[in-house]
Structure 1
Amino acid sequence: MSCAGCARAARTSSCPATATRRGGPPAMRADARACTTSFRPGATSGRSCASAGGRPSSSASSREVRRGSGRRGKPGGRAPMLTIIITGPTCSGKGRAAVELARALDAEIVSLDSMKVYRHMDIGTAKPPAALRVERPFHLIDIVDPCEEYSTGRYVRDALRCLAEIRARGRPAIVAGGTPLYLRALVRGFCPAPRGDAEERARMEARIAAEGLEALYEELRRVDPAAARKIHPNDKRRITRALEVHRASGVPFTELWKRSVPGLAPGSFRLLGIAWPREALCRRIEERADRMAAAGLFEEARAVAAMFPARSRTAAQCIGYREIWDAMEGMDSEAAVLERIKTNTRRFARKQLTWFRGFPEIEWLAAEGRSASAVAMDALDRLGARSGGAP
């Protein structure tokens, strides 16, 4: 599936290729910097914006982002166009911030959400409204039915293709969403190898104790000679991992590596995160769940169940729908189901925050008490100031 083209004329532009700022979420720091500038929703890089404190205006910053003045190829050549990634826990407002930033840069948006790919599941996945999707190009939303499986490997291939097509149109790209597995695969690559198995490792350790590592190495030479040629006979960790993968999948590890998908090249993207204090985030989660229920979430979930009695493993795990589907044969009230939705969403947010600790390159933007426009202005100012060489 190819990306949708944009109705507007393509522009040749580029984003800054600059180093990322490291550090934890500013929501955990008392001295988080407040944004003192804003820009009008819908403003593009060609319009002016008032700014305070001597900061560059949004129009100036967006021109810097689009022009780019960081890492270059050949002398005198154009700087490569960066991919801007906006992530954060569920209900953090990353989608709205991405839209405001896309308006300022005239960018296209690629979803980073494992549930927005499913058609008919709209309310519970917080998809952008239809009017907004007409205004702004979105990609990787509504591309499969709930009965279909959609893997991480497929996402990476689709996302990279979308980004290449957007670059070919000469436009900036913003990737927005909070699925940690998709994020990791996109920025670090993906190999479809199965996860480690503690019981299988224990069995191999017992065999090593009884027969020596040589026995496992000989087994590896039989089942995956290509891997055996690359692994030293004394490298226990790599020998056991290669055998573990073969036993779990039935496929040699070297064959799985041939199926791997490389992610974005180092230095080709900027990773921004939307941060909230935990208590404030929990309040937002509860309020959004109430709004979704009022908007017809229960009715939508029942309609999806009727259309697709057999749903894919991934779609069946979607928070908000899963709880309703599980309760359809029971006697639980909608109020009780809604409380479970809120609880499970809070747990998911905590898991996301744990995952994000593995991405030290995330540049966190404080969102509490600020509009989506102000958060986007902060991102735009940071990107533009860095490309222009300002401190």
Structure 2
Amino acid sequence: MKKPSVVCLMGPTASGKTGLAVELVQNHNYSIISVDSALVYRGMDIGTAKPDAEMLKMAPHRLIDIIDPLESYSAADFLIDVQQEIESIFAQGKTPLLVGGTMMYFNALKKGLAVMPQASQEIRFKIEKNAEENGWKAVHAELAKVDPVSASRIHPNDPQRLQRALEVYLVSGKTMTEFWSQQSAQSLPFHMLDIAVMPSERSVLHERIKERFDVMMRQGFLEEVTTLHDRGDLHVDLPSIRCVGYRQLWQHLDGQDSLVDAIDKGVIATRQLAKRQITWLRGWENLEVFDSLSKDLAGKALKYIESRII
């Protein structure tokens, strides 16, 4: 018996994934599931480029606005939730369309999760102290000595993943790469059809990111972060506040940067995120990539999907 298909639409931030997904579902039998680690948070709408009410009415998205910014949401949580949503969509006689740029979630769905050692506060403190004294580039260099594969895919300006990768080694004596290589592959009850969308010119993506950040500021992004900041129970080290844009504006509100500098840093962080996403996609097996600048993008994507969907 053939497995039913799930369509996975990936791409870097600001590449046009959401617009394409909305076009696909409006006249076809698809239902969208968000694969975005930022869209899960309630009250974080502008800075995450969350679809507005009008767009959600045209094309409802599952797995958005499901937790408070004070809560955490892991890849393991996503695996549980997404498989329930996929089953629900199949039961409606529709095809799930998974859309987003959180590549770790897509990877977890495709390959399963590695069982990593638990966090150590003592080790984390040592790593953070090293970073404070010598900078995160020094931490990156230390990681490169013991786990060059992880170091090659983690940017020196990505402290969260740098810290975790080095922590895994210092706690267990095994690298994160070793843990991932030993992960147990899932036997999924469906077939994943993987496609991606991105501009053929990197400069176009960079400009889109800058323009979108400017639009978000005009829409009230600073006021949104101020509301979160004024709650009193949130802080800059939470996964929600570490989201690109939010962290930089939060630091501005803490008096660390001028607004102009915070915006510049937010744009740079978003471009770095896009670069990491593209790196993931370049290593993705059996991926069909569409140029988001091409004419009739939706038509081309639909033709490809319909020719291969089971």
TM-score under structure 2 length normalisation: 0.75
Query: In structure 2, how many angstroms separate the alpha carbons of the residues matched to 1:168 and 1:360?
Result: 29
Deviation at 1:285, TM superposition (A): 0.5
Query: In structure 2, how many angstroms separate the alpha carbons of the residues matched to 1:183 and 1:342?
Result: 25
Deviation at 1:335, TM superposition (A): 2.1
Task: Tell me the residue number matched to 1:344.
Answer: 269
1:310 corresponds to 2:234:
yes
CA gap 1:334/1:380 in 2 versus in 1, 3 angstroms:
same
Deviation at 1:80, TM superposition (A): 3.7
How does 1:99-248 map onto structure 2 within 5 Å? 99-194=22-117, 248=171
Q: Deviations over 1:263-320 (max 9, x none)?
A: 5738701000002121111010111011000100001011011225324631121011
Q: How many residues align?
A: 258
Does the CA contact (< 8 Å) of 2:193 and 2:309 recur in 1?
A: no
Query: In structure 2, how many angstroms separate the alpha carbons of the residues matched to 1:380 and 1:266?
Result: 23
Match among 355, 365, 368 for residue 293 of structure 2: 368
Does the CA contact (< 8 Å) of 1:156 and 1:261 recur in 2?
A: no
Task: Tell me the residue number matched to 2:224.
Answer: 300
CA gap 1:266/1:319 in 2 versus in 1, 3 angstroms:
same
2:27 maps to a residue whose letter is A
Bigger relative contact order, structure 1 or 2 (CA pairs below 8 A, ≥6 apart): 1
CA gap 1:264/1:107 in 2 versus in 1, 3 angstroms:
farther
Identity of aligned residues (%): 33
Deviation at 1:177, TM superposition (A): 0.2
1:163 maps to a residue whose letter is I
Task: Tell me the residue number matched to 1:325.
Answer: 250
Does the CA contact (< 8 Å) of 1:153 and 1:261 recur in 2?
A: no
- Runs of 4+ more than 4 Å apart: 244-247, 260-264
CA gap 1:293/1:361 in 2 versus in 1, 3 angstroms:
same
1:364 maps to a residue whose letter is V
Greater C-alpha Rg: 1
Q: What stretches of structure 1 of length at least 5 have no aligned partner? A: 1-72, 74-78, 203-243, 250-255
Deviation at 1:94, TM superposition (A): 0.6
Query: In structure 2, how many angstroms separate the alpha carbons of the residues matched to 1:270 and 1:117?
Result: 24
Match among 191, 197, 206 for residue 282 of structure 1: 206
Does the CA contact (< 8 Å) of 1:156 and 1:263 recur in 2?
A: no
1:383 maps to a residue whose letter is I
Query: In structure 2, how many angstroms separate the alpha carbons of the residues matched to 1:245 and 1:358?
Result: 23
* More helix as a share of residues: 2
Deviation at 1:361, TM superposition (A): 1.6
Does the CA contact (< 8 Å) of 1:123 and 1:295 recur in 2?
A: yes
Deviation at 1:368, TM superposition (A): 1.6
1:384 maps to a residue whose letter is E
Q: Deviations over 1:191-240 (max 9, x none)?
A: 33149x989x97xxxxxxxxxxxxxxxxxxxxxxxxxxxxxxxxxxxxxx
Bigger mean CA offset, 282-291 vs 183-192: 183-192
Query: In structure 2, how many angstroms separate the alpha carbons of the residues matched to 1:333 and 1:284?
Result: 23
Give the root-mean-square deviation of aligned CA atoms: 3.0
TM-score under structure 1 length normalisation: 0.60
